[in-house]
Amino acid sequence: MSFKRLWAMLWARNHEFFRDRAAFGWNFMFPFLLVAGFAVIFGGDEPKDFKVGIFPCDSVQAAYDVDECLPPTLKGVRQVQYLGFENLEQGLDKLRHHRIDLLIEKGSPPFRYWVSNSSPKGYTVEKILIGNLVDDADRVMARQEVVTARQIRYIDWLFPGIIGMNMMFSALYGVGFVVVRYRKNGVLKRLKATPLTAFEYLTAQMLSRLFVLAFTLIILWVGCDLIFRFTVEGSYVDLLLIFLLGSLSLTSLGLVIASRGTSEEFSNGVLNFITWPMMFLSEVWFSIEGAPHWVKLTAKAFPLTHMLSAVRKIMNDGATLADVSVELAFLIGFTLLFLIVGASLFSWNK
């Protein structure tokens, strides 16, 4: 292997990345946009997960607070946002289209309410409101204990997922698309006619993308930390190591996708086929705790699952590298596997 050739390719790719104003602007701005998005979503009051309509309560036209329509027993239920409607028809229309999760008629108990039986959120908010109305101490399942240890905020749990998702898209599209485009327009063929080896070329692509991922990660982390003040219970060095291995495994997967083919459309399809299930099953947005066994097993096939699991353990639980050794092993294994497959399948030609 020649480091001179590897460096030449790395230098060329980085120049391309930083000089492509549109792509660089997007890659540079995207983390800031994410940070801004987080600030808007999580920076204000507690998020309201459920929407409950109440009628008759034309709060918009009459310009008064919807709370004035609410009976005292329904006020102050956390995570419920109330919306006022003029009449039943208007409220039912919103309910049918899942714009609201439940509809209540204003008045005194017992309240009449409507809920869509095809809405899982409707079922949940129904139970929440009923629970709020019933004062039955005998039916309380257990005594409430207050957790005095540091609570893990939702943003603390979600943030690694967002970072991981951003890394996944950047790694897979950043490598997969570029190499396929270069194969299609003949750049790879031209490079093949030089002493450059496939290993040197692919390593340069990988290192270049790692650099971009690290750059984005730092911006996103520092930006979000300034706003949300994350607490990292474990070691930052361990965290960096996991991110590095995660980036390596995701970039290597990008190399597998880039190893053959000249159709950007086909590559886009393959990338979608991989990224969407990975995004949903790797617990980026929500936990798959309680999902069927086969779903959990499928999730294990994605490197992002192991990266996020390890990052969350280190960040939220103060885990050490020994505690996340299984995730580490998976990430190293995936990287090696993808590199071997990618390098053996790689073709310079169309």
Partner 1 sequence: MSKTPILEAIDVTKRYGTVTAVDHLNLAVPKGVCFGLLGPNGAGKTTLVEIIEGIIAPTSGHVLYQGRPRAASFFERIGIMFQQTALLSFMTVHETLATFQSLYPHSIDIEELIRLCYLEDIRKQLNDKISGGQRQRLLLALALVNQPDLLFLDEPSTGLDPQARRNLWDIVANIKRQGKTIILTTHYMEEAEHLCDIIAIMDHGQMIAQGSPAQLIDQYTEGMHIDLPAECMVNVSELPAADITVLDERAVIQVHDMNRVVQRLLAAGVDLTHMTVHSPTLETVFLNLTGRQLRD
- In this complex, which beta carbon is closest to partner 1, that of residue 10 or of residue 245? 10
Before 31, cis peptide (omega within 30)? Answer: no
User: Going residue by residue from 13 to 42, which x/- string records binding to partner 1, judged by CB under 8 A?
Assistant: --xx--xx----------------------
Residue 190 near partner 1 by CB under 8 A: yes
CB of 22 to partner 1, least distance (A): 11
Using the rule CB under 8 A, is 195 a contact of partner 1?
Answer: yes
Distance CA 345, CA 350 (A): 13
The residue count for the chain: 350
The Cα-based distances of 203 to 111, 197, 213, 343 in angstroms read 66, 10, 15, 10
Q: Which residues pair with 115 in a beta bridge?
A: 102
Where are the extended beta strands (E) located within 99-207?
102-105, 113-115
Q: Applying CB under 8 A, does 194 fall inside the site for partner 1?
A: yes
CB of 181 to partner 1, least distance (A): 9
Binding string to partner 1 for residues 165 to 184, with x set by CB under 8 A, is what? -----------------x--
Are 17 and 212 contacting, i.e. CB atoms less than 8 angstroms apart? Answer: yes
- Our CB check for partner 1 shows the closer of 21 and 293 to be 21
What are the C-alpha distances in Å from 205 to residues 21, 37, 173, 257?
19, 30, 12, 13
Judged by beta carbon, residue 19 or residue 293, the one nearer partner 1 is 19
From candidates 75, 78, 112, 189, binder to partner 1 by CB under 8 A: 189
Min dist. Cβ of residue 263 to partner 1 (A): 16
Q: Which residues touch 293 (CB under 8 Å, ≥6 apart)?
A: none
12 binds partner 1 (CB under 8 A): yes
Q: Which stretch binds partner 1 (CB under 8 A): 11-19, 126-134, 252-260, 282-290?
A: 11-19
Q: Supply 58's token pair.
A: 């034309």
Which among 246, 285, 253 is positioned nearest to 267, based on CA atoms? Answer: 253
Three-state SS at 84: strand
Residues paired with 83 in a beta bridge: 53
The reply to whether 263 sits near partner 1 by the rule CB under 8 A is: no
Among 5, 51, 209, 312, binds partner 1 (CB under 8 A): 5
150 binds partner 1 (CB under 8 A): no
Choose between 106 and 192: whose C-beta lies nearer to partner 1. 192
Phi, psi of 103 (to 5 degrees): -125, 130
Q: Which of residues 106, 153, 192, 296 is near partner 1 by CB under 8 A?
A: 192
Which residues neighbour 231 within 8 Å (Cβ) at sequence distance 6 or greater?
150, 156
- Shortest gap between Cβ of 1 and partner 1 (angstroms)? 13
- Contact between 344 and partner 1 (CB under 8 A)? no
**Which residue, 141, 137, 53, is CA-closest to 94?**
53
Determine how many CB atoms are found less than 10 A away from the CB of residue 198: 17
Instruction: Return the number of the residue (19 or 143) whose C-beta is nearest partner 1.
Output: 19
* 121 touches partner 1 (CB under 8 A): no
Binding segment (CB under 8 A) for partner 1, from list 1-9, 66-74, 131-139, 280-288:
1-9
Residue 145: DSSP 8-state: -
- Provide the binding-site residues for partner 1, judged by CB under 8 A: 4-5, 7-9, 11-12, 15-16, 19-20, 182, 185-187, 189-196, 348-349
